[in-house]
Structure 1
Amino acid sequence: MRVLGIDPGLTRCGVGIVDVTATRTATLVHVSVIQTPPDMPLAERLLIVSAGIEALIDEHSPHSVAVERVFAQHNVRTVMGTAQVSGIALLAAARRSLPVGLHTPSEVKAAITGYGQADKKQVGTMVAKVLRLESVPKPADAADALALAICHAWRVPLGSGSAAQGAQGVPGSGAATGLTAAQQAWRAAEQGTARRSAANRLAR
């Protein structure tokens, strides 16, 4: 399953694409940030973001799109820009008949770290672990986009049409092992690191 995660923002829009297997193993496909200058007219900024998102969809052909759900903020200008970019992302997906998942920040944090109040550093660290990256993707918008994509893939039952069936019977799911998807991914990443370290010691 290939998922495009979008962390909507008018100045910086994080976009990340991951492939996730039936055992919940995630692999990085693409990550970047679409940026627009604050002094540019709004219509032109939205056009740049729209073109960037559509180009990624056409190039990488994701099976679904995950977008952060817009929530109220004290800064009305910021939330308006976020909502406008979210609309663009939804439109781009709808034009290509791609299913869309909307996830709140707390849902993403809980899926990735097991803790709904985790900070950005914890999320970024876990994203790097899950994707077996040498460093945390930067800026934070990029890591957040990947976290969205991973969260969506883990919440959607791969290879089945029912969320309930996926939670109960997908190999490697929490129901089968007693661990959440995040905990399983962390354990798999740690085991992979341990195996590589052992191989390096033997090679010396």
Structure 2
Amino acid sequence: MSSLKSLSAPIRRLPVELLTHIFVAVCDGHPIAFAARVPKKIERLPFTLASVCSSWRQIVIDIPRLWSNLQIPYEYNSNHSCPEQQLRLCLVRSKSHALSVGLWDGEKSPLVRQLVEESARWQHAMIAYLLEEEFPSLASRKSFPLLETLDIRQHSFRDPHLFLFNSAPRLYSLKTTKLSPPEKLAAFTPRNQITDPGSQ
């Protein structure tokens, strides 16, 4: 009887378009994070929604935007089963959608390396410790054709290596906790296109 009531629940009569808007509204602002300190129901909302029922699962899987906001903390949750496979699944489900990434660790993390490989899809990026030795792949003249906002949390006495993002033609917003001196900023070629500068 309870299963019959579930099948006749009003939410099952909502059109896919409306459910899509609801799912996007619920997940926006909550990145898929691999952090042990974040409650599971918040850190992996798309996975949670996809586990409700088969119809929701298909809808959620078919919304690339839900899988495109990804965050790797300094110490990602190693208790997750196969975190690298889970991140790869997110990247597959995000299809060609632009990515928002938060990187609290460098390329020594296999998860960060996966996201760096997708840097051409970055639209919004938050990076801690922006140093060439932390992100050697970014030093190999990578291009960031979609990047619009860059947020640097430089918890270091060293200046951020902004030149790593010299090839970012759409970058308009730069926020940083530590601003490089003028002589170093001169090597940051997108500096003249920044219309939303800021410091924290």
Q: Highest CA radius of gyration, 1 or 2?
A: 2
Higher helix share: 1
- Larger relative CO (CA 8 A, sep 6+): 1 or 2? 1
- TM-score normalised by L of structure 2: 0.31
